[in-house]
Homo-oligomer: A and B are copies of this chain.
Amino acid sequence: MILQIPLSIMNKPMKKITTVAILIMLSVAGFSFIIRPKADEMVPYPEGFRKWTHIKTGLIGPNSPAFKTTGGFHHIYANDKAMQGYTSGYFPQGSIVVFDVIDGVETDGNTAEGKRNHVDVMMKDSLRYPATGGWGFEEFKGSSKTERLLTETVRTACFNCHTKQGDYIFSVLRD
């Protein structure tokens, strides 16, 4: 459908048309301001990530120096936009990568999954997170969708470490 401008408006003096145009522009600008997220907005819980693509897995055992912070299984999951990043090298806006940390319970040489320890999230949104390469970082306790664990100091440490990698992502999609 084509928007039709009534002929009546074309007959109005130019001054009035200019005023209307300016008012429309100001309304649009105001609306953009309202819907644009604040720069410090928190990373949301990654709803439905258990059905995203499983990128890869590792197991950090008790003999590892990393055991205290990330001991157990860690599974990495990517949403569809992040999958574009894993295949092209460029992660588009809206990419979300999850690092799901689950206790490892060993019995007779077999290690099974226990309870969830925490869920770490990286979300690409250059408007929200311009200071950290366009990525927001967060960590949720256990299976909670609301209990957040990252302090500003730890968040900065996350970013500083991830800068070592191309587009801030360490993992590579396993075949």
Contacts and interface: CB of A to CB of B under 8 A. Distances in A.
Copies in the assembly, this chain? 2
A104 B58 CA distance: 9
B111 A58 contact: yes
A6 interface: no
Interface stretch (A15-23, A60-68, A155-163): A60-68
Instruction: Classify chain A: how many residues form its interface, as a range.
Output: 20 to 34
Interface in A88-142: 102, 104, 106, 108-113, 116
Contacts of A53: 50-51
Given A109-B67, A110-B64, A75 B58 contact: no
Interface in A50-88: 50-51, 53-54, 56-67, 73, 75, 77
Contact of A54 (B61, B64, B77, B108): B77
Q: List the 9 shortest-distance A-B pairs measured between CB atoms, nearest first.
A: A63-B109, A64-B109, A54-B54, A59-B111, A61-B109, A64-B110, A51-B53, A58-B112, A60-B110
30 contacts: A50-B53, A50-B54, A50-B174, A50-B175, A51-B53, A54-B54, A56-B113, A57-B73, A57-B75, A57-B113, A58-B110, A58-B111, A58-B112, A59-B59, A59-B73, A59-B110, A59-B111, A61-B106, A61-B109, A62-B109, A63-B108, A63-B109, A64-B108, A64-B109, A64-B110, A65-B109, A66-B110, A102-B174, A116-B175, A143-B175
